[in-house]
């Protein structure tokens, strides 16, 4: 069984999601916004996308 650890605190993850939701209108797609924020905080865009979708109700 593998154990994963969260590299980022819940506060950092919440802030990253807010950054995506607040600024996705400035990008051609949500994915573009996710990639931009992921680059800024140093995480995987895919992981951040899953987090953002879970926190925004799949929006």
Q: Domain limits of the chain?
A: 10-55
Q: Is the pLDDT of residue 27 over 90?
A: yes
Mean pLDDT of 18-24: 91
Per-residue confidence at 54, pLDDT binned at 50, 70, 90? confident
At residue 31, the pLDDT reads: 93
Q: How many CB atoms sit inside 10 A of residue 27's CB? A: 15
The answer to whether the beta carbons of residues 19 and 54 sit under 8 Å apart is no
Mean pLDDT of 18-32: 93
Mean pLDDT of 14-31: 92
Model-level pTM?
A: 0.77
Query: Domain 10-55 falls in which CATH fold?
Result: Arc Repressor Mutant, subunit A (1.10.10)
């Amino acid at each position: 069984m593998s154990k994963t650890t969260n590299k980022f605190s819940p506060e950092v993850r919440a802030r990253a999601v807010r950054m995506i939701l607040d600024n996705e209108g400035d990008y051609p797609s949500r994915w573009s916004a996710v990639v931009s924020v992921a680059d800024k905080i140093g995480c995987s865009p895919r992981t951040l996308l899953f987090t953002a979708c879970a926190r925004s109700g799949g929006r």
